[in-house]
Structure 1
Amino acid sequence: MTYIGRFAPSPSGPLHFGSLVAALGSYFQARSQRGKWLVRIEDLDPPREVKGAADLILRTLEAYHLDWDDDVVYQSHRHAVYQAQLDSWLSSGQAYYCRCTRKQVKAMGGFYTGNCRDKKLINDGNCAIRLLMTHPVESFDDRKHGQFSVPPELAREDFIVKRRDGLFAYNLAVVIDDIAQGVTEVVRGADLIEPTGRQISLYHILNQPLINYIHLPLALDKSGQKLSKQNHAPAIDLKQPKPTLIDAMQFLGFELNKEIKQSNVREIIDWGIANWRIEQLPDATEITPRFSNSSL
């Protein structure tokens, strides 16, 4: 079976160091397996989207010589696919409408306890859609970190697949798209470990073969916060990518000698493909990087 990996950024701003780490990890894993590497723009949340960010992300990947296969998929073009799945679940009883607010769920102890499950509500424009959890996943295997446990209350929760504001939930869209694109393994940041159990449960409910997961170390800033667009992480350099590329590869456990560091970006990327090993990844799931080569 052909290996298929993917990088799926949201266009809420330019790529930062943490984004580059995720892109490189997924790229090296796919190319080392002589597989395909896809790019998907996860533009599910228009209020958070920054105008022009999607195009800037693609230009940044090109600057770092991270070439993708096939056409770029935009989730904003796939709403009909997501809705069709929801309609099917609503019809079969696998999903249902829910009027509970966050405040009400908090009063339930922080986990939704099925308050609307048997009410057979009709959507009045003020409802979310929840998935009836028939296949709870209380643990899963990560190829780098081993077994992860999911709190039972979280694993058994009927989680939201379409929000009250009409936006499709991340867990729904990401799984439907990974299945549609034939993704065989997801390599991404450790900040996304938590929803993995729910995503695996969706594979069971959709009667689809399971895929593999590898979660990369999460890059933190000096104050211990996740490097993210929300925390105003600086954009990586398009014009002089090599210093940041070297920093990101060292963050991923590569040991680059002087000769490799003096090579051009394409040569460094090709060397990375040839020398990539999952075992080289740091054991920690959170790391504050030392930027020795870039100005970040």
Structure 2
Amino acid sequence: MTYRGRFAPTPSGDLHRGSLLTAVASYLDARQADGAWHLRIDDIDPPREVPGAADRIQQQLAAHALHWDGSVQYQSQRHDAYAAAVDMLLASGHAFYCALSRRQLADLGGRHPGPAVAVSPASHSATNTNPNPNTDCAIRLAVPDTPICFTDRLQGRQCLSLGEADGAFVIRRRDKLYAYQLACALDDADQGMTHILRGADLMDSTLRQVHVLDCLGRTRPDYGHLPVLTDSDGNKLSKSAGAAALSPDTSANLYGALRLLALDPPADLAGAPCAEQLAWAIPQWQPARLNNTLTFGVADAP
């Protein structure tokens, strides 16, 4: 099978050290396999987007010599595909309309019990009245009673009972925006992604996306979850938490990422151009060195 990987940032801000780490790892994994590495902009949620961030992310990647194959894909251009998938899931009985409010969900213990419980918008209690799809409804995906499982390349066997977690989950929101779990799973399938390498903070999302793919009858990619970079308080570096944008010193940024990825680059590579650092790193890439590790503490960062 020809390797196809991707990096799929959300345009909610510039790249930071944690997002660069994921980009570098997925790039090295693809290039070592003589595969393709694609860029997708996950702009499915306009309220979260920062104007100009998508362009700046592309500029940051190019400045670090992380050159993608083909054209950039945008989730905002895929609404017809998401709508068709939702229609298919509704027709097959996997998905259902839901008028449950946050208060009503809280009254149910925070777990949606599935299509057997529909909620009347005029009531704060669960009923067996099927909500009219023309009313203010979300669309949820029902979940099985048995755990969803897959084998992660880095973290080993992973299982989650979605019913015991949050239950049936949203695939189209009340505001008619498509949810991340649906969009990401469908994009990976439609774009023929064979390998997904991303942060361990997305493990629960992966288990939900695996379920989406199973319901659609689509092939699961091979998943691997990298340790995430944390701050001094142990929190993941993220745009929403105000993580600093990457330094303009691209050579130093990349060298630090290679060190975190357990590649032990030689000292004389520290000031080298990014393309030279990547050329050295591709044959050295050994993701097995990151097995069973979920976080890189701030103390690990160069």
TM-score normalized with structure 1 length: 0.92
- Match of residue 254 from structure 1: 263
Amino acid in structure 1 at the alignment position of 2:156: G
1:231 is aligned, of 213, 233, 241, to: 241
| Cα deviation digits, residues 211-247 of structure 1 (max 9, x gap) | 211111111111211100111000002x420111111
User: What is the DSSP-based 3-state SS (H/G/I as helix, E as strand, rest coil) of the residue aligned with 1:195?
Assistant: helix
- Match of residue 43 from structure 2: 43
1:72 CA drift (Å): 0.5
- Match of residue 171 from structure 1: 181
Give the Cα separation in 2 of the matches to 1:14 and 1:262. 23
Q: Is the 8 A contact 1:138 1:155 kept in 2?
A: no
Give the Cα separation in 2 of the matches to 1:186 and 1:119. 41
Q: Is the 8 A contact 1:96 1:121 kept in 2?
A: no
1:191 is aligned, of 178, 189, 201, to: 201
User: What is the DSSP-based 3-state SS (H/G/I as helix, E as strand, rest coil) of the residue aligned with 1:153?
Assistant: coil
Change (3 A) 1:292 1:152: closer
User: 1:83-102, aligned counterparts within 5 Å?
Assistant: 83-102=83-102
1:168 CA drift (Å): 0.5
Amino acid in structure 2 at the alignment position of 1:22: T
Moved more, 88-97 or 57-66: 88-97
- Match of residue 131 from structure 1: 141
Give the Cα separation in 2 of the matches to 1:52 and 1:6. 21
Report percent identity of matched pairs. 39
Change (3 A) 1:156 1:53: closer
1:122 is aligned, of 132, 144, 150, to: 132
2:217 is aligned, of 195, 207, 222, to: 207
| Cα deviation digits, residues 36-76 of structure 1 (max 9, x gap) | 00100000111110000000000000000001001101000
Q: Is the 8 A contact 2:111 2:165 kept in 1?
A: no
- Match of residue 171 from structure 2: 161
| Cα deviation digits, residues 103-156 of structure 1 (max 9, x gap) | 222221221112229644222341100123358543221111101231453479
1:164 CA drift (Å): 1.2
1:286 CA drift (Å): 1.5
- Match of residue 16 from structure 2: 16
- Match of residue 62 from structure 2: 62
| Cα deviation digits, residues 167-213 of structure 1 (max 9, x gap) | 11101000111011100011001110011111111221111222211
1:220 is aligned, of 203, 213, 230, to: 230
- Match of residue 125 from structure 2: none
Moved more, 176-185 or 118-127: 118-127
Q: Is the 8 A contact 1:135 1:201 kept in 2?
A: no
Amino acid in structure 2 at the alignment position of 1:32: Q
- Match of residue 3 from structure 2: 3
How many positions carry a matched residue from both structures? 292
Amino acid in structure 1 at the alignment position of 2:175: D
Give the Cα separation in 2 of the matches to 1:265 and 1:211. 29
Moved more, 151-160 or 124-133: 151-160
Give the Cα separation in 2 of the matches to 1:187 and 1:4. 11
User: What is the DSSP-based 3-state SS (H/G/I as helix, E as strand, rest coil) of the residue aligned with 1:194?
Assistant: helix
Give the Cα separation in 2 of the matches to 1:7 and 1:54. 13
1:18 CA drift (Å): 0.7
Change (3 A) 1:112 1:146: same
User: 1:100-119, aligned counterparts within 5 Å?
Assistant: 100-114=100-114, 115-116=117-118, 119=129
User: What is the DSSP-based 3-state SS (H/G/I as helix, E as strand, rest coil) of the residue aligned with 1:250?
Assistant: helix
Moved more, 205-214 or 135-144: 135-144
Amino acid in structure 2 at the alignment position of 1:247: G
TM-score normalized with structure 2 length: 0.91
Amino acid in structure 1 at the alignment position of 2:275: R
Q: Which runs of 5+ in 1 are unaligned?
A: none
Change (3 A) 1:10 1:120: same
Moved more, 208-217 or 67-76: 208-217
